[in-house]
Structure 1
Amino acid sequence: MWSVDLTTILKTYIISLGLQFLIWPLIKKYFSKLPDQGWALGRVLITLMAALLIWQLSYLGIAENNNGKLFAILALFGLLSLWQIITHGVKAFTVAKTTAKIIAIEEYLFLVGFGVMALIRAHAPSLDSLEKFMDFGFLKQYLLSPTLPAPDMWQAGQTINYYSFGHFWASIWVRIWGVAPAVGYNLMLAFIFGTSMSLVFLVCVILAGNKSSKAATFGGIIGALGVMVAGNSHVIWYLIKNRSLDNYWYAEATRFIHNTIHEFPSYSFVVSDLHGHVLDLPIILTFLVVLFSWVENKKRVYEIAIGVLFGVMMMTNTWDVAVYGLVLLVLGVQMVVADIGELKKLLKTVGVMFVSFLLVALPWWLSFSSISSGVEVVTERSPFWQLLVLWSGGLVINILAVIIEGRGEKKIVIRTLALSAVFLIAIPEFVFARDIYPNHPRANTMFKLTYQAFILMGILLGVTFGSLLDRGRKIVLGLRVVAIFIIFFIFVGTMNFSFIAFTTYYGGFSNYYGLDGEKWMQTKVPENYGAVKYLRKNMNGKNMVEAVGDSYTLFNVVSVFSGVPTIQGWRVHEWLWRGGYSMVASREAEVREIYQGVSIEKTKEILDKYNIGWILVGLDEKITYKINEEKIWQLGEMVWEEGDTYLIKVE
């Protein structure tokens, strides 16, 4: 099993490296001023652009979502790169020695991050917990559907109403890699981890301002680990209080403040839900790289790219538009305060960005129904001491960054990141976006905002540490020594989180299962797995009916893994996505009528209404409904049976 997985990991790495080389001449042309001349952006941008083109054309009804279109677009990028080579010769590929060193470190970070995270996932690959059903269901639908928006696997006849472009992007990678979807899910997590490691490194080196400095590259590595591997300050305070981490429960670092959520990247990769905030990591880091490029060189192409990336964020993790809109606002205000003459130029820049954003996001937005219910003022705030437990380390980093970098060339960007992080932590103490969870009103707002605050503070950790180690920087010796000690203490202390969290979640890495995320079905739900395999081979464009299930359970596993939509799936999730419970309730009543109602005519009307071609009767259905099997058998032919589970093909 190890050898098979290692071969798969190596194959997918080589494929991604091939795409990197395919786009390299184009990337190098537009990002030649970066320390790596854009190398770390390659894998993200080539697949992101391919995904975006297919997405837009399919939403507009111009072209189908299929492999032919994907590989045609990749070939087009190859031709554009070839033109660069023909035009510029070997200069289109070659780089200076210092640049090559940066690229080598980035590639090493990607390869190690990708490989290690893939092998970690192989110790607990199962897609059977938390919200993995939702994430895999979206991925599966995007792989199957020739049109967009794709069908909702949990509301037959409806389309996905969620910011799910990231899942579509994941489906693009699964196609390119040529792996099974349940393997691709775990590989995508590893890809995001590895890519984000290299991108954080690049961001830190950019802000350090000296790519040839060993201190800058070391700071970049520390920054990559600080963003992607470290935890928040909670683990440090726990250790100080208890003088031991023996009984430390890692999840408390994300639920410490009552009725709220305050996660960060390393926790995301522990639990491994492939959510929008995870899928958006490489995108927001690419955004920061492009933004810093614009700060240095106000090219129109960067303004357009920023607008496009905002559009992609809108469709991947909508909250990040607000977050990085705030970052732009903080940056813009400082630029205007420094020079009022910048205001007119900035307004033009914002106009270009907005038009680009609108062109990208509008087709999706017109088919999307908002799942938010407005903004409210908070009535219950976090105790100040709890905020300090979580964020004191990051806030200390912010202060040190501003002090040490306050007079450097990058001072405006450093202040922007530091101020934005503070604002993102503070905002949920004053307002929140209302949703369907009255007992946890601030949870999602705090989660989405502080997640990004953590990333910004992690970047500042790497930049500041690198600056302190740079002997060429004029920093008072006493400040240098004290600051190095403080940052090193925070870094080492917060790194304890991942050592504990990953070891706990993955059972001490004592069992190796492989990369297949659906193998668990063979033992946990073998009969349902049989139905899944049958439906995959025999799907005919018709929908199915199975028992309606509660969220976070193993109900609705067949619709998720087969890709055949069911009348009604997880209740709470659809309640959130549809902005109300009425549709969920009416569909649930209709499913009940199918399974236990008396009238065959009424049942047939429901089956016709939802284009039902398959009726599943298994353990979940039998414990949920009093099955009227006599009626069920009259609705079609039993085409598959295993144990106490069978499928009726509706006539």
Structure 2
Amino acid sequence: MEYALVLRWLVLYAALFAAGVPLVARLLPNTRGRGVGLAVPAATLVLVIPAYWVGQVAFGLPALLAGVVVLLAASALAALDVGALRDGRLELAVDVPRGPVLDAAVVFALSFAFLVLVRAFDPGVFPGGGEKFLDYGLLKSLRRASVLPPEDMWFAGTRVKYYYGGHLVTTLFAWLTGTPTRFAYNLALAGFYAMLVTAVFELAATVGEDHDLSRRVAGGIGAFFVGFASNLVTAWRFGILLLPEGLRRPVAEAIAENSEYTVATLLDGFSSFSYWSASRVIPDTINEFPLFSWLNGDLHAHMTGTSFLVLAAAVGYAYYRTPAPDLRRRRLLLAAIPVIAGWQAIHNTWSFPSVLALGTLSVALAPADPRTLVPGLSRVGDRLASRSRLSAEATRLGVALGVTVLGAVVAVAVAAPFFLGTAVSGSERTVDFLGPEMRSGLGGLLLVHGAFLVGFAAYLLSRLRVRRPVYLVGGVFAAAYVGTQIGLAALIVSVPLVVFGWVALRSDAPVGYETVLVVAGAGLVTLVELVYVNEQAGPGRMNTVFKTYMQVWVLWAPAMGVALAGLIRGVPSASRVASRVRDAAPSVATDGSGGGTRAAAVAFVCLLVVSTSIYGVAAVGSHLQEGPPGGTTLDATQFVETYHPQQAEAIDWLDDHEEASVLVEAPGTNYYPGGDDGRERVMYSWNANPASSLTGVPSVVGWAHEVGYRGPDAYYERVRDVDAIYTGGAATRARLLREYDVTHVWVGPSERGRYGEITFDMPGVSVAHRSGSITIYEVDRSALPAGNESASLA
């Protein structure tokens, strides 16, 4: 294990924490914790945005210095008392209690250490079971880049057409710590995980203060649900074993009917357990949750961008609790939302609209009237709102949407190089409506979201205090009936949460910002049952559900921390909750729950925690049973020497060879004119572009992912050209080697599997390296034969 590197990264995060504390203390000044658990993502955001912009001209040291200078300047400005500076005095304006700082530090350190341990037992960037080749290749490409975006390692001569913000953060952190890419991959994974868990802890703890909840209880529950909990399918799977013999098969058949599990697998119990299957529950979708994602170990945007989504939620919360008269602060907070949204477009484009939607909901559901944000709008709004309660709510929502549109314009400006360049691709993407046959069944939705649903239902029902429960029950049954009739089971799941949450927030019920997060997550669950992005990344709506469900989990985890802690604490006085939100009141009165009620609440919470822990205990336990050959390590490429020793030396040679700038290797597709080539498996396997993926040296054409970035015509044109380079005559080869500015040609098992035996005997091409099963040819383009020469393939 590389303990010195681990310590070096912890020092980096401590420095980011120190720089970020003044920023978040300004964000949440009237809270006990001052938002300290959000300090690292806040500091990272301030560091990376200027680095990204400077990197468009000069990436490397200039971009890194720009980010560091802006971060230090922003931190100092936030920390100092501007009024005292005008008087010639140097005074701090930030006062952070020691307890919350210690809590955040402990949560971050434990989370970081946990993920470092997990990665040390499985550090390799294996191409199967994920997109580690893509992620690692992007890191290597960024290390080679002189400007942003970096050159695409799977489409030489072009720039990356993919969101790469998490890889950019990782590269900056690697430079700051002097860490080679092969170690930075896993250390960054651990850091992103710790940033998420700590941010959720802080948001849940801070929102919980409005209900007089223990910071550690609310924050701890939130951290558990984002860092360790799973969906309910594993609990049901193992719970079957406790049933009487006659009930096991019927229950297994019911679960199999609503998921991708088979009856045989369910009845096998522990013997067939795999960490993988719990993420494939609803048919034809991917239902990842955070622990699965980090066990799988991709350095992917849907994971690395999560802490910034929580930061956006925290800004929304800061707006939510700002009193209406403080108009200047409310406007400043709203200005921060587009900045985060712009960064999320670069980092994880799927999260870009979610950040803006959080701003919309925060404005619409905050106690402060949103009409006051716009001069002169109050009078017009008063006339509309006076007609009915429905008109009043519609007016609030309309103003919030208008503010969001303006925010979207700012966000696009923040991410202008991305939207005008990187995001423009040759592939076709459309937003299409889902037919009933593609939608999720009720059983699958309950298996995936059930723990959150019962927790939120119990919480909202305890706060609403409905005088006529028949209306409430009738509403649920109406949603169920409509959902059944139109084939939209999500209505049964999400509509009650949206309606009851909205009503609770806009009435005198003792709820707060946690309910805004509940409504936001429920909206996303419904959205992916109505529309999807039709693209090449997987069949149907698979990728849409995949990228959206992670956001649902991240939004619901802090809400769950407040909800479950609130159930244990009892129901507070509505008036005191409102007072605490608007005026930062010091305490909240509680109506007080009887001993039996509190005991039932504790039992209920324990049941949810235990049922969602079973997967984590089994998956982490099996994960840690056997480490990599040679002992635990954070070296992401050690597996190459272990499992592909015949190619390891050649990959190292290419990685260190500064003259290598464009590579030819077999394309990452087994499609061949008239059928498939001789390789048994290509995509998501070692046969697909190991050289370019592990070195960052751009290949003329790589994985078939490029179809989604460039379109099928551009991709398969290059595939045909690469085929011609390996199989054509000297004149054809020379023309194509010149056209693509090729410097090296890779010949290994994958190339022989596609083309048979390959040799080059022509002017301008010579053997540069030979080891194991690999021959690397070097191309001297000035010495290549002219197009009319007829030298042939030997």
Please report the TM-score for the alignment, with normalisation by the length of structure 1.
Answer: 0.91
- 1:393 matched to 2:451: yes
AA matched with 1:467: G
2:221 aligned residue:
222
1:455 aligned residue:
554
2:603 aligned residue:
485
- Of 671, 685, 699, which aligns to 1:553? 685
Work out the CA distance in 2 between the residues paired with 1:52 and 1:177: 19
AA matched with 1:378: G
> What displacement does 1:509 show?
5.3
Change (3 A) 1:278 1:622: same
AA matched with 1:299: R
2:408 aligned residue:
354
| 1:210-264 superposed Cα distances (whole Å, 9 cap, x missing partner) | 59x6733212111101112100111222232223655433322211222111111
Match of 1:92, SS state, is coil
More displaced stretch, 495-504 vs 535-544: 535-544
- After the TM superposition, which residues 154-233 of structure 1 pair with which residues of structure 2 at under 5 Å, given as runs? 154-210=154-210, 215-233=214-232
Work out the CA distance in 2 between the residues paired with 1:8 and 1:93: 35
- 1:575 matched to 2:694: no
Please report the TM-score for the alignment, with normalisation by the length of structure 2.
Answer: 0.75
- Of 363, 366, 374, which aligns to 2:420? 366
Contact 1:595–1:626 (8 Å) recurs in 2: no
Work out the CA distance in 2 between the residues paired with 1:417 and 1:588: 47
Change (3 A) 1:329 1:95: closer
1:75 aligned residue:
69
Work out the CA distance in 2 between the residues paired with 1:413 and 1:25: 23
AA matched with 1:495: S
- After the TM superposition, which residues 61-100 of structure 1 pair with which residues of structure 2 at under 5 Å, given as runs? 63-82=57-76, 84-85=79-80, 92=92, 95=95, 99-100=97-98
> What displacement does 1:354 show?
2.4
| 1:500-554 superposed Cα distances (whole Å, 9 cap, x missing partner) | 1223344455873300101111122234322222223322363111111232011
| 1:445-492 superposed Cα distances (whole Å, 9 cap, x missing partner) | 222222222223322221122223437632543544333322221111
Work out the CA distance in 2 between the residues paired with 1:416 and 1:86: 33
- Of 248, 255, 272, which aligns to 2:273? 248
- 1:498 matched to 2:552: no
Contact 1:401–1:460 (8 Å) recurs in 2: no
Change (3 A) 1:34 1:606: farther
- 1:518 matched to 2:549: no
- 1:45 matched to 2:163: no
1:422 aligned residue:
522
Match of 2:311, SS state, is helix
Change (3 A) 1:608 1:349: same
Work out the CA distance in 2 between the residues paired with 1:644 and 1:9: 35
> What displacement does 1:44 show?
1.8
Match of 1:386, SS state, is helix
Change (3 A) 1:517 1:362: same
AA matched with 2:619: A
- 1:317 matched to 2:449: no
Change (3 A) 1:73 1:251: closer
> What displacement does 1:286 show?
0.8
2:726 aligned residue:
595
Change (3 A) 1:209 1:646: same
Match of 2:214, SS state, is helix
> What displacement does 1:613 show?
0.6
- Of 114, 117, 125, which aligns to 2:115? 117
AA matched with 1:156: A
AA matched with 1:236: A
Work out the CA distance in 1 between the residues paired with 2:401 and 2:707: 40
Change (3 A) 1:247 1:616: closer
2:741 aligned residue:
611
Work out the CA distance in 2 between the residues paired with 1:403 and 1:324: 28
1:375 aligned residue:
432
1:563 aligned residue:
696
Work out the CA distance in 2 between the residues paired with 1:513 and 1:94: 42
More displaced stretch, 355-364 vs 326-335: 326-335
More displaced stretch, 488-497 vs 336-345: 336-345
| 1:313-368 superposed Cα distances (whole Å, 9 cap, x missing partner) | 12222221233444444445545766677568646643552232121122211112
Change (3 A) 1:396 1:305: same
Contact 2:647–2:773 (8 Å) recurs in 1: no
- 1:443 matched to 2:542: yes
Contact 2:569–2:598 (8 Å) recurs in 1: no
Match of 1:259, SS state, is coil
Work out the CA distance in 1 between the residues paired with 2:660 and 2:758: 26
- 1:104 matched to 2:78: no
Q: Which has the larger radius of gyration?
A: 2
| 1:34-60 superposed Cα distances (whole Å, 9 cap, x missing partner) | 43223223222223222211212333x
Match of 1:37, SS state, is coil
> What displacement does 1:206 show?
1.9
Change (3 A) 1:494 1:604: same
2:251 aligned residue:
none
Match of 1:240, SS state, is helix
| 1:81-138 superposed Cα distances (whole Å, 9 cap, x missing partner) | 4454485678637635xx3211211110101111221121011101113210001111
More displaced stretch, 145-154 vs 328-337: 328-337
> What displacement does 1:172 show?
1.4
Change (3 A) 1:131 1:340: closer
AA matched with 2:296: V
> What displacement does 1:398 show?
1.7
Contact 1:405–1:414 (8 Å) recurs in 2: no
Unaligned runs of 5+ in 2: 243-268, 323-328, 371-389, 465-503, 571-588, 669-681, 781-794
Work out the CA distance in 1 between the residues paired with 2:462 and 2:739: 66
Match of 1:375, SS state, is strand
Work out the CA distance in 2 between the residues paired with 1:249 and 1:348: 47
- Of 277, 294, 298, which aligns to 1:273? 298
Change (3 A) 1:138 1:299: same
Match of 1:20, SS state, is helix
Contact 1:503–1:509 (8 Å) recurs in 2: no
For the aligned residues, what is the CA RMSD? 2.7
- Of 288, 291, 305, which aligns to 1:263? 288
1:238 aligned residue:
237
1:28 aligned residue:
25
Contact 2:521–2:552 (8 Å) recurs in 1: yes
AA matched with 1:28: A
Work out the CA distance in 2 between the residues paired with 1:340 and 1:584: 48
Match of 1:486, SS state, is helix
